[in-house]
Structure 1
Amino acid sequence: MLLVLSEEHKEHLGFLLQVESSVVNEFGRIALEFLRKGTNPKIYEGAARKLNVSSETIQHGVEGLTYLLTESSKLMISEIDFQDSILVLGFSEELNAVLLQLYLDNRKEIRSILTELAPKLPSYHSLEWRLDVQLASRSLRQQIKPVVTLKLHLTQNGNQTTQILQTDPATLLHLIQQLEQALGEMKTNHCRRIVRNIK
């Protein structure tokens, strides 16, 4: 699977052509710090003074490198795919080798950082349901409106929460059909390949 870079990212990464490979390694270290702790303008200003460029150029270079490393790690692309992905940038073989080594050395750590940054969503615990039907009414002689009430118990960080939902049977049937269609889609070869690459 190849990584597709936008023109903006290519432009940001183009700055790496102007610096030595040791500086690219330093940019890689700054990119990892950026992922761990967030942005630090002082680091950009210091690097900008050393290289005689604007701090904005340094920031864009680091952000471009961060994007390249995070997207590659997220998709767990192979060495060959990584090399093919950066081939369009027109870097020298030495710079390509430095970027590849940077990716190989840090992809597990980047994946662990990305997992920590992912939002902690509530998980399903149990479900209670009830069907309410008004059998007769003087004002509504022919219309019967059944309502399905769902009490959804969720668990998040050891705490249990409850969500109460109400719907009519037609909407519930449509929701069930959509979920079954999504589960059926997960059995296709295309989705299996994607899931295998994500893991």
Structure 2
Amino acid sequence: MLLVLSDEHKEHLGFLHEVDPSVVGEFGRIAVEFLRKGSNPKIYEGAARKLNVSADTVQHGVEGLIYLLTESSKLMISELDFQDSVLVLGFPAELNEVLLQLYLDNRKEIRHILSQLAPTLPQYHNLEWRLDVQLASRTLRQQVKPTVTLKLHLDDSGTQSARVLQTDPATLLHLIAELERALAEAKTNHCRRIMRNIK
């Protein structure tokens, strides 16, 4: 799978043409440090003074490198696909090798950092349900009003919580039909291809 870069990202990465490959390695270190601890404007200013360029140029170059590394790591693209993705940037072979080595050295750590940034969602633990039917009342004779009450138990990072939901049977049947349609869609070849690329 090839990584598709927008014109803006190509422009940001174009700055790497003007610097030495050893400086690109330093930019890679700054990019990984940025992912770990966040942005530090002082680093951009120091690098900009050494290179005689604006701090914005250095920041855009590092951000372009961050995008390249995070997207490549997220998709776990192979070495060959990474090289082909970078080839469109028109870098010299030496710079392509530096970028490849930077990707190979840091992709596991970047994936670990990205997994920590992902939100944790509660997981299904148990479900209790009850069907309530009001058979008759003095005001409404011979009218049946069924209600389904669901108690959904969730596990959220070791913490147990419960949600109580109430609906009528018609809405519940519609919800079941939609979920079954979604499960059927997940079994199609198109969805399987997408899921394989996400992992």
Paired with 2:48 and 2:55, the residues of 1 have a C-alpha distance of 5
Corresponding residue number in structure 2 for 1:81: 81
Secondary structure at 2:134's aligned position in 1?
coil
The answer for unaligned runs of 5 or more in structure 2 is: none
Shift of 1:141: 4.8
Corresponding residue number in structure 1 for 2:2: 2
Which amino acid letter does the alignment assign opposite residue 133 of structure 1?
V
CA deviation map 1:16-72 (0-9, x unaligned): 111111111111101100111111111111111111111111111111111111111
Which amino acid letter does the alignment assign opposite residue 68 of structure 2?
L
Q: Normalised by the size of structure 1, how large is the TM-score?
A: 0.91
After superposition, where does 1:7-156 map in structure 2 within 5 Å?
Answer: 7-141=7-141, 144-156=144-156
CA deviation map 1:59-108 (0-9, x unaligned): 11111111111111111111222122222222222222211111111111
1:98–1:147: structure 2 CA closer, same or farther, 3 Å change rule? same
Secondary structure at 1:120's aligned position in 2?
coil
Identity %: 80
Deviates more, 1:117-126 or 1:66-75: 117-126
Secondary structure at 1:161's aligned position in 2?
strand
Which amino acid letter does the alignment assign opposite residue 79 of structure 1?
E
Which amino acid letter does the alignment assign opposite residue 104 of structure 1?
L
Contact 2:132 2:147 in 1 (8 A): yes
1:139–1:53: structure 2 CA closer, same or farther, 3 Å change rule? farther
Q: Normalised by the size of structure 2, how large is the TM-score?
A: 0.91
CA RMSD of the aligned region, Å?
1.8
Secondary structure at 2:4's aligned position in 1?
coil
CA deviation map 1:92-133 (0-9, x unaligned): 222222111111111111111111121122111111111222
The answer for unaligned runs of 5 or more in structure 1 is: none
After superposition, where does 1:183-194 map in structure 2 within 5 Å?
Answer: 183-194=183-194
Shift of 1:180: 1.9
Paired with 1:185 and 1:102, the residues of 2 have a C-alpha distance of 38
Contact 2:135 2:143 in 1 (8 A): no
Secondary structure at 2:50's aligned position in 1?
helix
Paired with 1:163 and 1:89, the residues of 2 have a C-alpha distance of 51
